[in-house]
Chains A and B, each alone.
Chain A
Amino acid sequence: MSIELKHVSHTYMPKTPFERLALDDISLLVPEGKITAIAGHTGSGKSTLIQHFNGLLKPDKGSILVDGVDIGTKTAEARAARRKVGIVFQYPEYQLFEETIAKDIGFGPGNMGCNEEEIAERVRFAMEFVDLDCETYAHRSPFQLSGGQKRRAAIAGILALKPKYLVLDEPTAGLDPRGRQALMERFCRLHREAGTTIVLISHNMDNIANYADNVIILNRGRVTLEAPPAEAFSRSELISEAGLELPEVKVIMDDLARHGLDIQQDAFTMDQAVQEIMAALRRQNRC
């Protein structure tokens, strides 16, 4: 099962002087149970793209299938399919609005028609997952939280919907290094324990190298590459054409190789790099 896009195009403000083709004949697959990363420069169409995943935007052409169901129709089946996809937008903390954190997180489940008991259960689950202590925070105003806590509370609001597919648009932007890592590890845990499929929109290539199973590169509204990270990062010309960068680790390794260190394997993550440098030093009898 999967999210599948077939020849999707989207034009903003069609038939006006501002007409702009944002998505140009996009076909792609987000396989269930994997972490798929979507990368591209500002304006490449990432945000437009993900808004098609649960029908917030409708394509001009083409179709979107969630677990095989075309979400573009008005049937109950299509609505159920749309609800399988939860989207956390960039800077979700700006969307907090309720009087208390528990009410804010419970808003979505309430809308879905859950009863009081189930709402409470989902709020507890979501708060626990983002590491906000339920006892302490449930009845506080979300506006009293720190920036990092607000981000987590907003994410909890989507987790409470228990989406099968969780789409995250730059979830770590503006967070400090510890916050970035902690949040990414939480998403990985969700992926591992609940089997949630993750779609990660990011231009942080180090994050992608560390966490993603698949990378989709978007450039000017088109998919220019769909591959596992190792393969994607070996296409450096394509990456830079798309206005992106290789992971810093890969850049360091390329530099070392160019200056004569006998590196034989590609490395994209810190652990791989340490291993490969140690191996190279051994080959050159230097340790």
Chain B
Amino acid sequence: MSFIECIDLTHIYNAGMENQQLAVDRVNMKINEGEFVAVLGTNGSGKSTLAKHFNGLLLPSSGKCLVDGMDTTDEAHTYDIRRQIGMVFQNPDNQIIAAIVEDDIGFGPENIGLDPHEIRRNVTAALRAVNMEEFRHFSPHHLSGGQKQRVAIAGALAMNTRCLVLDEPTAMLDPRGRHEVMETVSRLNRERGITIVYITHFMEEAALADRIFVMDQKHMVAAGTPREIFRDIGTMKKRGLAVPMAAELAYRLQQRGVKLSESIINREDLVRALCQ
């Protein structure tokens, strides 16, 4: 059984009103437990709307979204679903609420009425998981962007979340912050089997996922491994997207007659192909 499954999921904002707007149109997708998937698409393609269905922040106008077999429209499950799926958004300053890092991370567990000892344990484990133990007593506004995003991730982990949905978590970060977040996310996936849904405009980040979903004008138009998706540079550009630099470079060399056999999506591939 898939961990997250969308069946003909359609979302219309302000349905039935004069300004109604179709945002996601009959999307079908399956994400397995423990998978790391990236979602690509231009601004306005429907990625964020789709992602907000995964923990029931939005409910489908028609179709279904199932999380671990539970229908998100069934209110009896809302609580369970939200515990299992943590969301991290683009702007770290919009999602940090407490004045001290450990209070912020403990907010979720406290809210669901965990025992104080357990809260403490969860907070410590979550801080360790994102390498932020030494910042436990810091005030969040003294942290860098990458550190703030890791606090946001820790907040989800403290709820023993099984899946993280990250909506452009690195868009506002500097290179170091981007690496910190990316490294944390891949490690949580690799070592703890946490399912990752990663929305991004950075192709190099998407290349690290197990699978990529591509959205275009409210539809899900492609799904496949990074190699499969980035092979077709023309289609990606037509959709307003791009491919990793190494892939673009390989493509331009091929056009100039250089024979490069394998599909190239990263530096290592390119080195292997050009420096035998």
Enumerate chain A interface residues (CB-CB to B < 8 A): 41-43, 90, 144, 146-148, 173-180, 203, 205-206, 243-245, 248-249, 251-252, 255-256, 259-261, 270, 273-274, 277-278, 281, 287
Nearest A residue to B148 via CB reads: A42
Report if B171 contacts A (CB, 8 A): yes
Nearest A residue to B275 via CB reads: A259
Given contacts A179-B240, A261-B274, contact A274 B245 (CB under 8 A): no
Pair B249/A278 contact, Cβ less than 8 Å: no
Other-chain contact of B245, A176, A245, A249, A287 (Cβ < 8 Å)? A249
Q: Cβ of A180: which chain B residues have Cβ within 8 Å of it?
A: 201
Q: Cβ of A256: which chain B residues have Cβ within 8 Å of it?
A: 270-271, 274-275
Given contacts A175-B201, A243-B175, A259-B271, contact A43 B144 (CB under 8 A): yes
Interface digits, B1-33 against A, CB 8 Å rule (1 contact, 0 not)?
000000000000000000100000000000000
Pair A174/B252 contact, Cβ less than 8 Å: no
Given contacts A176-B42, A255-B271, A278-B256, contact A248 B175 (CB under 8 A): no
Pair A177/B242 contact, Cβ less than 8 Å: yes
Measured between C-beta atoms, what is the minimum distance from A203 to chain B in Å?
5
Complex CA gap A278/B274 in Å reads 11
Pair A277/B175 contact, Cβ less than 8 Å: no
State how many residues of chain B have any CB contact under 8 Å with chain A. Answer: 39
- State the majority secondary structure of interface residues on A: helix
Pair B174/A42 contact, Cβ less than 8 Å: yes
Other-chain contact of A248, B41, B144, B204, B271 (Cβ < 8 Å)? B204
Other-chain contact of A274, B172, B242, B252 (Cβ < 8 Å)? B252
Measured between C-beta atoms, what is the minimum distance from A212 to chain B in Å?
17
Complex CA gap A259/B276 in Å reads 9
Complex CA gap A146/B23 in Å reads 12
Complex CA gap A278/B253 in Å reads 8
24 contacts between A and B (CB under 8 A): A41-B174, A146-B44, A148-B43, A177-B201, A177-B203, A177-B240, A180-B201, A203-B174, A243-B176, A248-B246, A249-B249, A252-B245, A252-B249, A255-B270, A255-B271, A256-B270, A256-B275, A259-B271, A259-B274, A259-B275, A277-B249, A278-B253, A281-B274, A287-B258
Given contacts A148-B43, A274-B252, A287-B257, contact A261 B172 (CB under 8 A): no
